[in-house]
């Protein structure tokens, strides 16, 4: 059993949840929204802080942070650190956050090869040069799972985790139950 996240007096105070997409495809966020009408039950229990769902840009103190995607560039590192600093519980959501996922397929090439292929040597490129605008986040040489950058409390696997997996995870976590998935929620073939 985890400690229930609602306080011991049964306070109705809502838990605060933030979500962030790092280097991923937004599929995990879409899957979260696939809980459909249960989202009405969810907002009874939680309030959303920074998230693409709320479009709030700055994070405040949160109870739960859900991170989709791996760490591929400087912005990802900064966002992730901000989440870690502000969230009591940080969750790696989906294959990219857990393992690096599809973006990490570039890890078998040098970053130099990747950038040159995209911006210099590729077919049909005009004005070949590697973009260097300071607004564009600089790429790390490899894509990393998020636990290689910050401490992570939970790993929610799947590509994406299904809506039911999200639902079970969040309701178990909020109610203080041990997170215990039935096999049907964590098998993938």
Residues that bind another protein (CB under 8 A): 74, 77-78, 81, 84-85, 110-112, 115, 130-132, 134, 137-142, 144, 147-151
Say what angle helices 163-175 and 38-45 make with each other, to 10 degrees: 30
Lookup result for tokens 């859900």: 66
The nearest distance, CB 161 to another protein, in angstroms, is 19
- Strand (E) or helix (H) holding 84: helix 74-86
Q: How many CB atoms sit inside 10 A of residue 49's CB?
A: 21
Of 42 and 59, the one with the shorter C-beta distance to another protein is: 59
Contacts of 26-29 with CB under 8 Å at 24 or more apart are: 26/52, 26/68, 27/68, 27/94, 27/159, 27/160, 28/66, 28/68, 28/69, 28/93, 28/94, 28/97, 28/160, 28/161, 29/53, 29/68
Of 12 and 57, the one with the shorter C-beta distance to another protein is: 57
The nearest distance, CB 137 to another protein, in angstroms, is 7
Of 108 and 132, the one with the shorter C-beta distance to another protein is: 132
The nearest distance, CB 99 to another protein, in angstroms, is 9
Of 35 and 80, the one with the shorter C-beta distance to another protein is: 80
DSSP letter string, 39-51: HHHHHHHEEE-SB
The torsion angle over the Cα atoms of residues 136, 142, 148 and 149, rounded to 10 degrees, is -20
The nearest distance, CB 128 to another protein, in angstroms, is 12
Of 48 and 119, the one with the shorter C-beta distance to another protein is: 119
Of 14 and 142, the one with the shorter C-beta distance to another protein is: 142
The nearest distance, CB 36 to another protein, in angstroms, is 33
The nearest distance, CB 175 to another protein, in angstroms, is 26
């Amino acid at each position: 059993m985890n400690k229930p996240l609602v306080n011991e007096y049964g306070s109705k105070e809502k838990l605060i949840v933030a979500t962030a997409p790092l280097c991923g495809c937004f599929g995990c966020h879409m899957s979260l929204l696939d809980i459909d009408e249960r989202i009405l039950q969810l907002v009874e229990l939680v309030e959303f802080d920074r998230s693409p769902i709320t479009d709030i840009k700055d994070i405040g103190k949160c109870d739960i942070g859900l991170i989709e995607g791996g760490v591929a560039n400087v912005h990802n590192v900064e966002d992730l650190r901000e989440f870690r600093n502000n969230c009591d519980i940080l969750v790696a959501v989906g294959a990219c956050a857990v393992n690096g996922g599809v973006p990490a397929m570039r890890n078998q090439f040098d970053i130099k090869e990747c950038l040159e292929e995209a911006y210099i040597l590729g077919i049909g490129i005009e004005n070949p040069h590697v973009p260097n605008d300071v607004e564009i986040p600089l790429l790390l040489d490899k894509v990393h799972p998020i636990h290689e950058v910050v401490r992570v409390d939970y790993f929610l696997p799947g590509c994406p985790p299904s809506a039911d997996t999200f639902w079970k995870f969040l309701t178990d976590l909020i109610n203080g139950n041990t997170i215990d998935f039935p096999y049907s929620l964590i098998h993938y073939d």
